[in-house]
Amino acid sequence: RAGGERRGPSLGVQADGTDGNCVTFVLHDEDHTLGNSLRYMVMKNPDVEFCGYCITHPSESKINFRIQTRGSLPAVEPFRKGLNDLMGVCQHVLNTFERSMREYRAQKEEEMQ
């Protein structure tokens, strides 16, 4: 995007079946970075029977992200939980990095005095 501008995520949902426990989520403007990380987070849920994704075509930045759950759990629940858990991990990494940078800068300032 021009000027480093990034839009919010664009999400379309396609549902297979009538019970909602097997759903394909279509994520636009995303790639393997989100796909693989989100797949890992969703698969940690013991109620998820299958989770996988594919990039539709190398020239498109679109992911088909499929979740199948056990029992009557709607697939959207582990999808939401996976996204929230992934945001928590990213926030932890950012906080740890920023704290380390502050400590490093403080140490360098002490050494210069």
The full set of domains in the chain, from first to last, is 2-112 (3.30.1360.10)
pLDDT band with cut points at 50, 70 and 90 for residue 89: very high
Note the pTM of the prediction, 2 decimals.
0.79
Angle 76-112/32-43 helices, nearest 10 degrees?
Answer: 110
Residue 107 has pLDDT above 60, yes or no: yes
Tokens of 84: 């929230």
**pLDDT number for residue 12:** 63
